[in-house]
Amino acid sequence: MQTVSVVIICKNEAEIIGKTLQSLQGITDDIIVYDNGSTDNTVEIIKQFNVHLHQGSWEGFGKTKRKAIELATYDWILSLDADEAIDEQLKQSLLQLTFTEEKTVYKLSFRNFFGNTVLKFGEWGTDKHIRLFNRNVVNWNDAPVHESLVLPKDIEIKNLSGYVLHRTVKDVKDYAAKTLNYAMLNAEKYFQQGKKASWIKIHLSPGFTFLHYYIFKLGFLDGYVGFICARMTAFYTFLKYTRLKELSTTDQMNVAARLGKKETHG
């Protein structure tokens, strides 16, 4: 067993959470699962494992992950999503670590799946993320979506052998629902940051996105699923900037209405 805490946030992941937790057995005695309102039998499945189950509210990805990390016993954190199991090679890599250098973080390679198909090219083909770190030095920011780790300048990044097995989406319906959800959330994030949606971003960026992932990143070599992934990412880009434009227009109209009322009463 290692002095590392595995921290997972989840909601309605009954189909996959069992496989994820099973893959983590034997690594540590501190696996934290933070459930934020599951209505399926996710909680019942979690209780079948020797893990620490906590239930709380959803505050966006960044804040919720930070909240869950506070519940960990150890300072070294392996941060995973509910659909991210680990393979045996990565498990052995984790078991061999010494966890002595606080200013070292570890980047993990991802093997992403569309249903049962491994995505070898395109957006998902060479996916790597820092997911192992010491919480005294590194933690997630507060972004509601597309959260990222805040890394000091003097941090050292190392790679670990093995893969995180990410069950990205199970089918087109699942992919479409996630695409819509993330596009709306990211548009809200951009709006709060004061970003604008130009004509180019709405009308040209989706096409460039498709070409980038399907042609230049060789997504076409993944066959039909490669085409679906590139098209869906392009659609996500279109939805994100179209919604951002809508939010900005509505905000401008509200401001104009308030100014009009002031002039009338003035």
Sign of CA dihedral 74, 78, 82, 86: negative
Tokens 């070294």 locate to 76
Q: How far apart are CA 140 and CA 150, in angstroms?
A: 6
Q: Are residues 13 and 140 in the same domain?
A: yes
Whether residues 132 and 184 share a domain: the answer is no
Q: Are residues 151 and 90 in the same domain?
A: yes
Q: Tell me the pLDDT tens digit for each residue of 158-200.
A: 999 999 999 989 999 999 999 999 999 999 999 999 999 999 9
Q: In this predicted structure, what is the pLDDT of residue 266?
A: 57
The structure tokens listed for 237 are 């880009």
Cα→Cα distances 233→116, 127, 177, 228, Å: 19, 15, 12, 9
Q: What is the mean pLDDT of residues 30-51?
A: 96
For residues 221 and 193, state if they share a domain.
yes
Residues 164, 190 share a domain: no
- pLDDT value at position 33? 98
pLDDT higher than 80, residue 201:
yes
Band of pLDDT at residue 51, cut at 50, 70 and 90: very high
Q: Is the dihedral of CA 111, 113, 116, 119 positive or negative?
A: negative
Per the structure, the count of domains in the chain is: 2
Q: Looking at residue 138, what is its pLDDT?
A: 97
Helix (H, G, I), strand (E, B) or coil at 233: helix
Judge if 219 and 238 occupy the same domain: yes
Among 143, 169, 195, identify where a domain stops: 169
What residues does 106 pair with on adjacent strands?
132, 158
Mean pLDDT of 143-152: 92
| pLDDT score of 35 | 97
Is 90:27 a contact under the CB 8 Å cutoff?
no
Statement to judge: residues 130 and 259 lie in one domain: no
Residue spans of beta strands (DSSP E) within 87-228: 104-114, 117-118, 128-134, 139-140, 149-150, 156-169
- Among 169, 200, 229, identify where a domain stops: 169
DSSP designation for 11: S
**Over 70: is that where the pLDDT of 239 sits?**
yes
Domain that includes residue 208, residue range:
172-265
Distance of CA 164 to the CA centre of its chain: 13
Same domain, 66 and 150: yes
Residue 253 has a pLDDT of: 81
* pLDDT surpasses 80 at 263: no
| 223 and 124 in a common domain | no
- CATH code where residue 147 lies: 3.90.550.10
Q: Among 169, 204, 229, which residue terminates a domain?
A: 169
Say what the pTM is.
Answer: 0.89
Alpha helices in 169-223 (DSSP H): 172-192, 199-203, 205-211
pLDDT digits (tens, 9 = 90+) for 55-86: 999 999 999 999 999 999 999 999 999 999 99
Q: Are residues 199 and 183 part of one domain?
A: yes
Q: Are residues 69 and 115 in the same domain?
A: yes
Q: What is the DSSP letter of 146?
A: S
Euclidean distance between CA atoms 259 and 172, whole angstroms: 46
